[in-house]
Amino acid sequence: MTRPPDHPRVAFGRVGVLLVNLGTPEDASPAAVRRYLAEFLSDRRVVEIPRAVWRPILHGVILRTRPRKSAHAYAQVWGEDGSPLAAITARQARALREGIGDGVIVDWAMRYGKPAFGDRFAALQAQGCDRILVAPLYPQYSAATNASVMDALCKALAAMRWQPAVRTLPPYYDDPGYIDALAQDLGAQIDALPFVPETLLLSFHGMPERTLRLGDPYYCHCQKTARLLSSALAGRFPNLRITTTFQSRFGRAKWLEPATDTVIESEARSGTCRLVVAAPGFSADCLETLEELAIRGRDSFLAAGGSEYATLTCLNDGSAGMAMIEQLIRRELSGWA
């Protein structure tokens, strides 16, 4: 149709995909970490303590003491291209863009920090995307992650007069493509180790135990992922003992167990000499894998009497992981692209 001469040019008719990960400070300084933690720990999905109780703790204690310690941890993993999580998520978006072709606009965002979710979602619409798939890269559903992304999505939509049609990527904790990608990638990494591990620790991010009682399926999703992955690896590594743990405890509340740091030490003390750790719940390597598991985990294991320790990388933008992400995205775009 011919546009009237006085009609402004309007971009429309495009399909967009927005990959979303958790977030990261802009740099490894205490000031940047403080800004990031203030946003992250102010989310009611992340900390479910009543505001009147939590705000004095957050602003009076945590944001005064934790940023310097966390900044030191970030500095140990910061690369030439900045935050590992941001750099890898950007590479995942580029790889997906190349794999899926010109018919779809692919971008990425962080739920906390930059690039901000709302900014990148609005940018997709400005490029003419009136159909957008929001894809949280969290295999196992948690209210603190997936639901928080949905909160950000609703906030972004509330600011728009002309809203795009929206789809969201569901959790893929038991998707055969995800399990196959993990088995293929982790199996290749184990084969390449200079030692034969006795035990494989599958470490998932922890959550307060009360989230399970409140109905969050996260714990069950993690357990099913671990069960399916263990079965997929059994034929290739029949003598490898596999156990599931939860990392990154914070505060005094009871968290999901067993705790990764405790198990790492107890494995060494009980006679395990060769230990390997993987984090299948993380789509990209980050502070929790590169510092908590790879550095502190190794120190704890060796100090407790272990002799060989390795941390396997996440799927990141490797071929197995990207083939899986592209498969999931193509499926969710069915009928759109």
Query: Are the C-beta atoms of residues 140 and 159 closer than 8 Å to each other?
Result: no
Residue 10 has a pLDDT of 73
Residue showing tokens 């205490």: 30
Residue 137 has a pLDDT of 98
Q: What's the CA gap between 120 and 115, in Å, rounded?
A: 7
Residue 208 sits at φ, ψ, to 5 deg, of: -55, 140
What is the residue-level pLDDT of the chain in tens, covering all 337 positions?
A: 677 887 777 778 899 999 999 999 999 999 999 999 999 999 999 999 999 999 999 999 999 999 999 999 999 999 999 999 999 999 999 999 999 998 899 999 999 999 999 999 999 999 999 999 999 999 999 999 999 999 999 999 999 999 999 999 999 999 999 999 999 999 999 999 999 999 999 999 999 999 999 999 999 999 999 999 999 999 999 999 999 999 999 888 899 999 999 999 999 999 999 999 999 999 999 999 999 999 999 999 999 999 999 999 999 999 999 999 999 999 999 999 8
Q: What's the CA gap between 85 and 80, in Å, rounded?
A: 13
Q: Quick one: CA dihedral 65, 70, 76, 80, positive or negative?
A: negative
The DSSP bridge partners found for residue 108 are: 19
Closest alpha carbon to 248 in 82, 99, 91, 40: 40
Q: Quick one: CA dihedral 293, 296, 297, 302, positive or negative?
A: positive
Q: What's the CA gap between 192 and 295, in Å, rounded?
A: 20
Closest alpha carbon to 286 in 106, 40, 18: 40
Beta strands in the chain (DSSP E): 14-24, 104-113, 129-136, 165-168, 199-205, 241-247, 274-278, 308-311
At 211 the three-state DSSP class reads helix
Q: Which residues contact 310 (CB under 8 A, 6 or more apart)?
A: 193, 195, 197, 275, 276, 277
The DSSP bridge partners found for residue 104 are: 15
Strand 199-205, strand 241-247: pairing: parallel
Q: Is the pTM of this model over 0.85?
A: yes
